[in-house]
Chains A and B, each alone.
Chain A
């Protein structure tokens, strides 16, 4: 695992070691969007987005519906013109290039398979446009169908396939041209949960086998975390934060990101004291003074919010030894989820905290139950200071 500190300081995106290939030349982005804006009438669906994507990575555009992530993807594909801004792929300006000349392929959310063509002909479609010799086409189609495990279905028509198989055809069709960039619009959105989780890993395997750069659009944060080397979180047409899944989750830079990706407890307050390695924040909402380590620039007196993830909170029947970050609370509700339990806790100021705790031991161990009085605390390195 990469330590938190190095991910914070290293400007180069780091990939979880051993799982994914490192980007080739970190200094040289492979795909660049510069100040891309797309307006529909007065509304900017994509608003001044600048984005750098590295060779061989899986970059996820994560956001809610209507945040502009699909529009941005379509601009990269050339299916949607950018109102202003430039798109460069492998050093080449493709802003005005029509989709049929871009070295980019897309896997559509609806798959958009050609219903009148067999699986084989769907996959061969792109290669035929390039006028390759038929022997070469047959070979590449066959090996691609092998890769997505659709060999026995080559002669079927799309309507004779299951949803998961159609998804593979769409993937094979987009991959077979070996594009410089593969765009995937909610690639697993139409699959049921179990199949989706299976396909997430398969998708990563295929991506690594072929080494093609992926840009994935998704609204599912777990999917984004599983698939991607880096995530760009989008909101209202803008990219609000870019980083590795760890950076996004552990160091959200705004309240939006903190709340959109995972759940979070937020304490508004004012900076009381700045020390070299930590700051102290007085929070009325928390009802105590909060200590946070590793804080960049904040002025004393500035209004801020401290974000703490539910799994970072620790719950005990006895008060903890340390001075800061501990709040007495009453257990309001407990939701047992098997692997972990979710607790809703009420603190003295009337606010509710969310806490999750893994159920490491069998139920023989006494776990807090509803109406129990407990002490909630967390390590100063667990909180994040955000602009209020």
Chain B
């Protein structure tokens, strides 16, 4: 002990750290523990990791079977890849759709800007689950879109939209678009408009000024928004479960099935840990390299 009196600053920091320790790190440790134990038909459905043998010595039984199983059965790897693919495409769609919206809001008049920002945030007033449910009513065979198109006479057969990848993309893009727009807006709004003028003045046509000046400068916003969309989209369970078909393979659903249908907690935990490592590792690297860039 250094014997120093804890300063106010330390006290302020202790709160969040304690919170993270109790509600993030401890549960994670439990999941990690379960991932290394053996499945049992019991309550709880896994074997204890630590045990006392007959001579009283403490033994630790680490079981790598669960992870080996993930590697052997290619279902998990396919589900992971498919999740990453869907999340990536959805993220790109969010960038393409969100960038013009963010740009438009950033350049609107201050009064209009507040209204537009409000509109972006407005969906959060309704539960996420309800909003995804609402899409079923819109997309299903006798739903809003099909009924409308048939009434007008554009189609005679309902378009199959529910339980397709299309519906999953739609759900993810719809749900996560605000998380792309808001950080992008924050970034674009800070950019000095005279940079456009300076580029034009130096002989740059508008589209090139965008590509060489505005886009590079807004990249931190794109990266921040992409993180906020990609990470939750990879592990998304509700959207593929409600809107996707049986063949929409996503890791979140696999995990759910392992946990609740198969009651194989150790494998489910191993899946969770594996996804965490496969997601966290590349993103940490990205954040580290990008964070140094953005420090300026």
Contacts and interface: CB of A to CB of B under 8 A. Distances in A.
B115 interface: no
Of B198, B200, B202, B205, chain A has the most CB atoms within 10 Å of the CB of B202
Interface stretch (B78-86, B189-197, B272-280): B189-197
Contacts of B194: 108, 110, 112
Interface in A84-100: 98-100
B192 A177 contact: no
A129 B197 contact: no
A116 B214 CA distance: 10
B137 interface: no
Interface size class of B (residues with CB under 8 A): 10 to 19
B153 interface: no
Given A114-B213, A115-B296, A106 B201 contact: yes
B217 interface: yes
A166 interface: no
A159 interface: yes
Given A79-B197, A110-B194, A159-B296, A115 B203 contact: no
Interface in B204-232: 204-205, 208, 212-213, 216-217
Contact of A112 (B198, B203, B217, B296): B198
A101 B203 CA distance: 6
Contact of A99 (B200, B208, B212): B200
B203 A100 contact: yes
A78 B201 CA distance: 8
Contacts of A113: 198
Contacts of B216: 116
A173 interface: yes
Contact of A116 (B192, B204, B217): B217
Contacts of A115: 217, 296
A107 to B, nearest CB: 9
Contacts of A114: 195, 198-199, 213, 217
B201 A130 contact: no
A173 B202 CA distance: 8
A134 to B, nearest CB: 16
Contacts of B199: 114, 125
Contact of A100 (B192, B195, B201): B201
Nearest to B208: A129
Given A110-B194, A114-B195, A157 B203 contact: no
Interface of B is mostly: helix
Contacts of A126: 202-203
B295 to A, nearest CB: 10
A112 B192 contact: yes
A105 interface: yes
Nearest to A101: B203
A77 interface: yes
Interface in A121-136: 125-126, 129-130
A261 B200 CA distance: 35
Interface in B143-198: 192, 194-195, 197-198
A66 to B, nearest CB: 19
A97 to B, nearest CB: 12
Given A157-B296, A159-B296, A112 B204 contact: no
A99 B213 contact: no
B201 A79 contact: yes
A105 B199 CA distance: 10
A105 B202 contact: yes
A110 B198 CA distance: 10
A105 to B, nearest CB: 6
Contacts of A105: 201-202
Contact of B204 (A78, A79, A100): A100
Given A100-B200, A108-B198, A177-B203, 15 more contacts: A78-B200, A79-B200, A100-B202, A106-B197, A106-B201, A110-B194, A112-B192, A112-B197, A112-B198, A113-B198, A114-B213, A115-B217, A115-B296, A126-B202, A129-B202
10 contacts: A79-B197, A99-B201, A105-B201, A112-B192, A114-B198, A114-B199, A126-B202, A126-B203, A129-B208, A173-B202
Closest 4 CB pairs of A and B: A126-B202, A129-B203, A112-B198, A112-B194
